[in-house]
């Protein structure tokens, strides 16, 4: 009954205006837009009325676009036939679409009949957006399809079977601004393949099989994605003209060293994660197992500082490489750096030279988790006065004791690397630091006032088995700390002495051996409390949170069914 009532308005409209009747009652129609997405069409709907500008036919079973007479489509500007079984497109059909600007044909079978189809495409003189992704197109097929599309601005050829880019592929599409060639099998880019694309701004070559990019010369490009290839070398073309490149993704490759980008002055985001970079210092030898296969590698001037020109760099990701040393001198010229990730490397130490001695870096976010750091000297933090968030999880750092004063402020201050006698890291007197993770650092005991004069908003101490937190360990955080995680530490109530944390709103105590909650929590305005998998039988201090608590997780505790009065609260 509901289905018939829903159809009734459509039936009435169809009877009143037969010339506007959709071919399927499931199509949704407005004066200029028709959507027949996923309604089971097997043929192109020819009678949809006059003035249609937007037509969506995706997720159907259409095999061809053909027809000698298609009235009413002279104003069509947007046509989506993605996810069909399309294998034939007739010139007769396309000739009746003179105003078509966007044609989406992704996920079809356009590798079949590609010669005839490509001939028909020559009529699309005004097409600006074309999607030919996932059509099993080989390199020569793709070239034929776009050989006469002079107005193209956006082209998607991703997910095909292209193995190389031919020199003349884009010669008749000089207005291209966005080009997606990702997820193909491209191993070769012939010289001059991009030469005609003087307006190209965004290029995606991710998920291909490129081994070397030498003489990169797309000066006007803004965004370049080369991730998930097999690159061992990336070098730019020599010359004086600067690049306009702002975003460069070289992640998931086989780069052995930092790429040479002497003229990429506008670069703001650089992703080098998941490569094989073992050192950032000049004159560093390549690992023994690698052989210099390219003559371009041999001509590199190793005295050039690869970061010298990158003065606008904001975000640099070097995670998951093979770095063993954090060289301050390498980042000396990065005056705009906001975020740096060196996570999942092999870092054991930090080092500075005479040039970087006293240098202050501008970064605010620093990720060093999953390394082999045992100590960070005081000068390391003094060189990062603007640091707001730091992830040091999965290392072996032990916080120093502050005793509520500036004691130990100069710990390691005169050494260029960590002194052999240093066994702890000072996390006090860092007025800008707001977020700190020390999870999984094998911290056995948190020293008194370890974070004194460091007004943290969030602190993660999870995964430190048998952690002991004596009275005063969190001293100095009473008026700032909002989120605290002590998850999976297997602590009992004698090891978890918390002060009166007057601003604490989120607390995770799950995965411990607590039979009582810390008494200091009674003055915290908690909104979220996780106490799963402990030894709690009752909650004694919950009354103080009756107006603030919004979420509480309690499973995995041996609750006493005779002491559940706290549930009423």
CA–CA gap between residue 127 and residue 152 (Å, rounded): 6
3-state DSSP call for residue 321? coil
Question: The tokens of 48 are what?
Answer: 């949809």
* Number of continuous H segments (helices) and E segments (strands) in the chain: 7, 30
**Structural tokens at position 350:** 């930090």
Report pLDDT for 437. Answer: 98
- Say how far residue 251 (Cα) sits from the centre of its chain: 11
Q: Please tell me the distance from the alpha carbon of residue 206 to that of residue 213, in angstroms, as a whole number.
A: 13
Q: Output the CA torsion 57→63→69→75 (10° steps).
A: 30
Taking only the tens place, the pLDDT of each residue in 30-55 is 889 999 999 999 998 877 767 899 99
State residue 69's pLDDT score. Answer: 64
pLDDT of residue 327: 81
Domain 424-434+444-568 annotated CATH 3.80.10.10? yes
Residue 355, pLDDT score: 53
The DSSP code sequence of 491-507 is: --GGGB-----TT--EE
d(CA 488, CA 508): 9
- In the DSSP assignment, the letter for residue 436 is E
pLDDT of 288 > 70? The answer is: no
Answer whether residue 4 shows pLDDT above 50: no
| pLDDT of residue 1 exceeding 50 | no
Q: Which two tokens stand for residue 540?
A: 């004694």
Query: Left, alpha or beta for 233 (phi > 0: left; psi -120 to 50: alpha)?
Result: beta
Say if residue 349's pLDDT is above 80.
yes
pLDDT of residue 254: 97
Q: Which residue has the higher pLDDT, 495 or 156?
A: 156
CA distances from 429 to 218, 365, 405, 450, 459 (A): 47, 18, 9, 10, 16
> What's the pLDDT at 11?
36
What pLDDT does 9 receive?
Answer: 41
> Tell me, what's the pLDDT at 308?
56
Give me the count of residues in the chain.
569
Is it the case that residue 230 has pLDDT exceeding 50?
A: yes
pLDDT at 413: 40
Q: Which residues pair with 507 in a beta bridge?
A: 484, 529
State the distance between the two ends of the chain, measured CA to CA, in whole angstroms.
48
Average pLDDT value for the chain: 86
The boundaries of every CATH 3.80.10.10 domain in the chain are 210-283+308-377, 424-434+444-568
- Of the pLDDT bands very low, low, confident and very high (cuts 50, 70, 90), residue 353 is low
What is the mean predicted confidence (pLDDT) over 547-559?
Answer: 93
Residue 92: DSSP 8-state: H
| Whether the predicted pLDDT of 518 surpasses 80 | yes
Task: Kindly report the CATH number that applies to the domain delimited by 210-283+308-377.
Answer: 3.80.10.10
pLDDT computed for residue 455 by the predictor: 96
Cα torsion 482, 483, 484, 487 to 10°: value is: 160
Query: Is residue 249 within a helix (H) or strand (E), and if so which, with residue range?
Result: strand 247-249
CB atoms within 10 A of CB 158: 21
Q: What's the rounded mean pLDDT across residues 264-289?
A: 80
- Give, in order, the Cα–Cα distances in Å from 471 to each of 58, 439, 476, 499: 65, 20, 12, 7
- Asked if pLDDT for residue 417 goes beyond 80, the answer is no
CA-based angle 207:209:214, to the nearest 5? 110
Is the separation of the CB atoms in 148 and 122 below 8 Å?
yes
Residue 214 pLDDT level (bands cut at 50, 70, 90): confident
| Contact (CB, 8 A) for 273 and 248 | no
The separation between CA 239 and the C-alpha centre of its own chain, rounded to angstroms, equals: 32
CA 532 to CA 512: how far, in whole Å?
8
Distance CA 231, CA 208 (A): 10
Of 42-46, 423-427, 450-454, 475-479, the least confident: 42-46
| pLDDT band at 356; cut points 50, 70, 90 | low
Banded pLDDT at 359 (limits 50, 70, 90): confident
Instruction: Tell me the Ramachandran region of residue 140: left when phi exceeds 0, alpha when psi lies from -120 to 50, beta otherwise.
Output: alpha
* 129-131 and 154-156 beta bridge pairing: parallel
Q: Which of 123-137, 180-194, 230-244, 319-333 has the lowest average pLDDT?
A: 230-244
Average pLDDT, integer, range 441-458: 95
Model confidence at 174: pLDDT above 90: yes
Q: Considering just the CA atoms, what is the radius of gyration of the chain in Å?
A: 32
Query: pLDDT tier at 541 (50, 70, 90 boundaries)?
Result: low
Nearest to 270 by CA among 326, 226, 231, 239: 226
DSSP β-bridge partners for residue 104: 80, 131
Q: How confident is the model at residue 337 (pLDDT cuts 50, 70, 90)?
A: very high
Q: What is the pLDDT of residue 165?
A: 94
Number of neighbours of residue 98 by Cβ within 10 angstroms: 14
* Alpha-helix runs per DSSP H in 133-263: 139-145
pLDDT of residue 67: 67
The proportion of the chain whose per-residue pLDDT surpasses 70, expressed as a percent, equals 85
Asked whether residue 240 carries a pLDDT value surpassing 80, the answer given is: no
Supply the pLDDT for residue 45: 84
Q: E strand or H helix at 271, and its extent?
A: strand 269-271
Span 440-450, average pLDDT: 94
Answer with the residue of higher pLDDT: 166 or 274. Answer: 274
Question: Distance between CA atoms of 132 and 139, rounded to whole angstroms?
Answer: 12
**pLDDT value at position 60?**
97
Q: What percent of the chain has pLDDT over 90?
A: 64
Find which of 61-75, 270-284, 285-299, 546-560 is predicted with most confidence, using mean pLDDT. Answer: 546-560
Mean of the pLDDT values across residues 320-329?
90
Cα–Cα–Cα angle for 530, 398, 340, rounded to 5 degrees: 80
Measured CA to CA in angstroms, residue 529 lies from 134, 493, 507, 542 at distances of 48, 16, 5, 10
Question: Of residues 320 and 49, which shows the higher confidence score?
Answer: 320
């Amino acid at each position: 009954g509901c289905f018939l009532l829903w159809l009734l308005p459509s039936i009435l409209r169809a009877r009143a205006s037969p010339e506007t009747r959709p071919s399927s009652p499931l199509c949704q129609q407005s004066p200029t837009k028709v959507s027949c997405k996923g309604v089971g069409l097997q043929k192109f709907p020819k009678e949809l009325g006059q003035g249609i500008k937007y037509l969506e036919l995706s997720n159907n079973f259409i095999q061809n676009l053909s027809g000698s007479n298609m009235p009413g489509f002279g104003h069509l500007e947007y046509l989506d036939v993605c996810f069909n079984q399309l294998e034939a497109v007739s010139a007769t059909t396309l000739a009746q679409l003179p105003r078509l600007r966007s044609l989406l044909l992704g996920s079809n079978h356009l590798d079949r009949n590609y010669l005839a189809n490509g001939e028909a495409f020559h009529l699309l003189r005004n097409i600006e957006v074309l999607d030919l992704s996932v059509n099993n197109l080989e390199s020569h097929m793709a070239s034929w399809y776009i050989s006469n599309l002079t107005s193209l601005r956006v082209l998607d050829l991703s997910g095909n079977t292209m193995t190389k880019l031919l020199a003349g592929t884009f010669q008749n599409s000089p207005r291209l601004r966005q080009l997606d060639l990702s997820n193909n099998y491209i191993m070769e880019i012939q010289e001059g393949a991009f030469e005609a694309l003087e307006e190209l701004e965004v290029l995606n070559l991710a998920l291909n099989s490129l081994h070397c990019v030498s003489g990169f010369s797309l000066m006007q490009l803004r965004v370049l994605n080369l991730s998930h290839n097999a690159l061992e070398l990336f070098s730019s073309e020599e010359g004086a003209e600067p690049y306009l490149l702002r975003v460069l993704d070289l992640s998931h490759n086989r780069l052995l060293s930092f790429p040479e980008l002497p003229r990429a002055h506008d670069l703001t985001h650089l992703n080098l994660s998941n490569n094989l970079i073992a050192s950032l210092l000049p004159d560093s030898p390549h690992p023994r197992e690698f052989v210099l296969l390219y003559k371009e590698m041999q001509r590199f001037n190793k005295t050039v500082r690869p970061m010298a020109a990158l003065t606008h760099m904001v975000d640099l990701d070097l995670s998951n490489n093979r770095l063993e040393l954090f060289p301050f001198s390498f980042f000396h010229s990065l005056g705009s750096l906001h975020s740096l990730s060196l996570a999942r490397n092999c870092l054991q130490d930090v080092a500075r030279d005479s040039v970087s001695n006293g240098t202050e870096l501008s970064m605010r976010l620093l990720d060093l988790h999953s390394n082999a750091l045992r100590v960070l000297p005081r000068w390391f933090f003094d060189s990062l006065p603007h640091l707001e968030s730091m992830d040091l999880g999965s290392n072996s750092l032990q916080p120093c004791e502050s005793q509520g004063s500036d004691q130990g402020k100069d710990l390691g201050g005169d050494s260029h690397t960590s002194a052999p006698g240093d066994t702890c890291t000072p996390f006090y007197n860092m007025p800008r630091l707001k977020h700190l993770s020390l999870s999984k650092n094998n911290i056995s005991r948190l020293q008194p006032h370890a974070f004194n004069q460091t007004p943290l908003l969030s602190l993660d101490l999870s995964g430190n088995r048998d952690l002991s937190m004596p009275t005063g360990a969190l001293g100095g955080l009473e008026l700032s700390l909002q989120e605290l995680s002590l998850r999976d530490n297997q602590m009992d109530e004698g090891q978890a002495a918390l002060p009166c944390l007057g601003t604490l709103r989120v607390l995770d105590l799950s995965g411990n051996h607590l039979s009582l909650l810390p008494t200091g929590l009674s003055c915290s305005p908690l909104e979220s409390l996780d106490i799963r998998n402990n030894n709690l039988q009752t909650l004694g201090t919950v009354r103080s949170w009756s107006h603030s608590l919004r979420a509480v997780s309690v499973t995995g505790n041996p609750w006493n069914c005779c002491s559940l009065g706290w549930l009423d609260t």
